């Protein structure tokens, strides 16, 4: 049950990060979950364990890390898309 709870919380964190960053996360629900997990890892790595914990995630660093991850992912996807439109490999 705790694994399912972690998936739910990770998805919500990813969704919140997408809303705050005003970017769509590719992959829908699965993309939100991945953004939440990767963001939590990044945020905890940089900020440590601060704030409340829910479902194994320290919420504040997880959301901040997820926002950064979403912005980086959005930037990379935009560059790849522009390269394809202009015929670059």
User: For the segment 28-68, what is each residue's pLDDT rounded down to a tens digit?
Assistant: 889 899 999 999 999 999 998 998 998 888 999 999 999 99
Number of structural domains (the chain) is 1
11 and 32 Cβ atoms separated by less than 8 Å: yes
| Residue bearing the bigger pLDDT, 24 or 88 | 24
Give residue 42's domain range: 2-82
- Does any domain span residue 58? yes
- Does any domain span residue 40? yes
User: For the segment 14-31, what is each residue's pLDDT rounded down to a tens digit?
Assistant: 999 999 998 888 888 898
- Does any domain span residue 7? yes
| Model-wide pTM > 0.95 | no
CA atoms of 89 and 73, how far apart (whole Å): 19
- Does any domain span residue 88? no
For the chain, the straight-line distance linking the first and the last C-alpha, in angstroms and rounded, comes to 45
Beta bridge partners of 54: 57
Asked whether residue 78 carries a pLDDT value surpassing 80, the answer given is yes
CA atoms of 22 and 28, how far apart (whole Å): 14
CA-angle at 50, arms to 14 and 7, nearest 5°: 30
């Amino acid at each position: 049950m705790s694994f399912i709870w972690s998936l739910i919380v990770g998805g919500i964190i990813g969704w919140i990060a997408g809303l705050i960053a005003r970017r769509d996360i590719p992959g829908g629900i699965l993309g939100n979950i991945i953004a939440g997990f990767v963001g939590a890892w990044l945020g905890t790595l940089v900020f440590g364990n601060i704030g409340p914990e829910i479902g194994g995630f320290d919420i504040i660093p997880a959301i901040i890390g997820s926002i950064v991850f979403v912005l980086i992912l959005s930037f990379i996807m935009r560059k790849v898309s522009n390269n394809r439109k202009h015929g670059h490999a």
